[in-house]
Amino acid sequence: MASDAKPAETFVEKPKTLAELRAEIASGRTKAADLAASYYERIEKKNPRLNVYLSLTKERALKQAERIDALAARGDPLPPLAGIPVGIKDVLVMQGAPATAGSKILEGYRPPYDATAVARLEAAGAVLLGKLNCDEFAMGSSNENSAYGPVRNPVDTERVPGGSSGGSAAAVAANMAVATLGSDTGGSIRQPASFCGVVGVLPTYGRVSRYGLIAFASSLDRVGPFAANVRDAATMLGVIAGHDPKDATSLQAPQEDYAAASDKPVKGLRIGVPGEYFAEGLDPEVRAAIEQGIDALRAAGCTVKPVGLPHTKYAVPTYYLVATAEASANLARFDGVRYGYRSPRSATLSDMYSHSRDEGFGAEVKRRIFLGTYALSAGYYDAYYLKAQQVRRLLAEEFLRAFAEVDAIVTPTSPFPAFKIGEKTGDPVAMYLADIYTVTASLAGICGVTVPCGATRAGLPVGMQVLARHLGESTAFRVARAVERSLS
């Protein structure tokens, strides 16, 4: 079965780099409007099988493309993403465009404003193609929880693209966008990027504004980019990062040129390898690929040394308590009053709430609201939520201790490559364990980049996660770039 499961048609296609496309557009050899049209053609061709886009924003995209073409025709200086076709995960709002968060409960909703990250991309010249499929409210590790059907992995369409930002990762892998935005609460950018063989960025908590991101777990939610290569991902982060008064937790940190930082050699950097991420449960082929990546860093002049992160095994239970507790509060706003779905069976106010939520939410979202409500309820708060927040501090502090010794930490992004659609849907705990290497950085608030690092014998991509301390994105990009260079 495995041998004939491989599709004859390949969906994988590498986009041109930002630098190439910008040069073409600046010189007039390529019109931004034609480029956008060619992306829409490719989307039309591939989307019926891959289910990557939930909706398209053609009118807005073409208007922006024409604006860029006019700038180029006048010979005016072009902004950094001039004419670049970009896709947006459907948990980030765009004014007037559908915003479903992969849920039936937001069907028909047209937000009256743009998310800050979206507005910044457009101000930098990006052409916004449309909204990308994802797990409902970003809750999932396989994109199988979308109310609008699963996304298929362009590398092997019988497999999941990862989640929850499955559409964002698959779009880049299949060249249905040059770059995309996703969100990462427990691994939702990094894991799908690794499953689809692209670069994904987890910025430091507070580095990118959450304004206009439909909230899942507010102390963990981050907005970050996907791209086909490290330098382009760094450029994307440079555009969306920076303080925003509309997000109460946005940092005042100075801007950095991440793309330029990624060009720097890694000679002399100290790289930590935590044994806890190479223990039981790690697929041997993934291990071998990551070890080759580590060898490449050594060959590039890095000092590689072991670091201890002994609380790692407690990260998944800690994460699922913190995240579900926050989700139960955040998702209380979906009640059929102000926007989205209202059940027609609504004789009383109380019925309206419960019927609308029952009919609007999918099974995994209900499960998490339940767990979170239970963990926060009278008599259980100390045992579950408070306990989890205490362990969260232990996890964060051990990262801080490790980063006193090393500049970056490298691990596999996921213990296994992309799994088959349907393989893990019956067992929530097994699905949660897919996040075992990513939830730690989420809880600690540190940053990271996942970069393609070889493949299994069956051709499934393997991703290396490069973690750095708070506000250490430049270092993470530099290390990721060295791994990328060693493979090309």
Partner 1 sequence: MTSKVTVDDVERVAELAHLELAPEETQSMLRDLNAILDYVAELNELDTSGVAPLAQASELLSEPGDTASRSRPDEVRPSLDRAQVMPQAPETDKTFFKVPKVIER
Residue ranges in 93-122 that form contacts with partner 1 under rule CB under 8 A: 109-113
Stretch that binds partner 1, among 14-22, 143-151, 232-240, 440-448 (CB under 8 A): 440-448
Report, in Å, the least distance between residue 327 CB and partner 1: 11
Report, in Å, the least distance between residue 370 CB and partner 1: 6
Q: Which of 89, 103, 131, 165 is catalytic?
A: 89
Beta bridge partners of 130: 56, 87
Q: Considering CB under 8 A, how many residues would be counted as binding partner 1? A: 77
Going from the C-alpha of 454 to that of each of 16, 149, 223, 420, the distances in angstroms are 20, 29, 26, 20
How big is the chain, counted in residues? 488
Within 201-230, the residues that bind partner 1 by CB under 8 A are 205-206, 219
Among 198, 369, 406, 436, binds partner 1 (CB under 8 A): 369
Report, in Å, the least distance between residue 246 CB and partner 1: 9
Among 1, 8, 347, 404, binds partner 1 (CB under 8 A): 347
Note whether 333 binds partner 1 by CB under 8 A.
Answer: no
Note whether 424 binds partner 1 by CB under 8 A.
Answer: no
Within 251-310, the residues that bind partner 1 by CB under 8 A are 251-253
Q: Which of 188, 262, 414, 474 is catalytic?
A: 188
Among 6, 400, 401, 405, binds partner 1 (CB under 8 A): 400
Concatenating the DSSP letter of every residue in 311-374 gives TGGGHHHHHHHHHHHHHHHHGGG-SSSSSS---S--SSHHHHHHHHHHHHS-HHHHHHHHHHHH
Note whether 444 binds partner 1 by CB under 8 A.
Answer: yes
Q: Which residues of 345-378 are buried (b: 16+ CB within 10 A; e: fewer)?
A: eeeeeeebbebbbeebbbebbeebbebbbebbee
The question of whether 63 is a catalytic residue gets the answer no
Helix (H, G, I), strand (E, B) or coil at 465: strand
Within 39-98, the residues that bind partner 1 by CB under 8 A are none
Sheet arrangement for strand 408-412: 53-56, 127-132, 85-89, 179-184, 222-227, 199-202, 447-455, 461-468, 408-412, 270-274, 303-307
The question of whether 89 is a catalytic residue gets the answer yes
Q: Cβ of 151: how many Cβ atoms within 10 Å?
A: 35
Note whether 1 binds partner 1 by CB under 8 A.
Answer: no
Residue nearer to partner 1 on the CB measure, 198 or 468: 468
Closest CA to 133 of 184, 192, 89, 83: 89
Residue nearer to partner 1 on the CB measure, 341 or 477: 341
C-beta of residue 437 within 8 angstroms of C-beta of residue 465? yes
Residue nearer to partner 1 on the CB measure, 239 or 388: 388
Which active-site residues does the annotation give?
Answer: 89, 164, 188
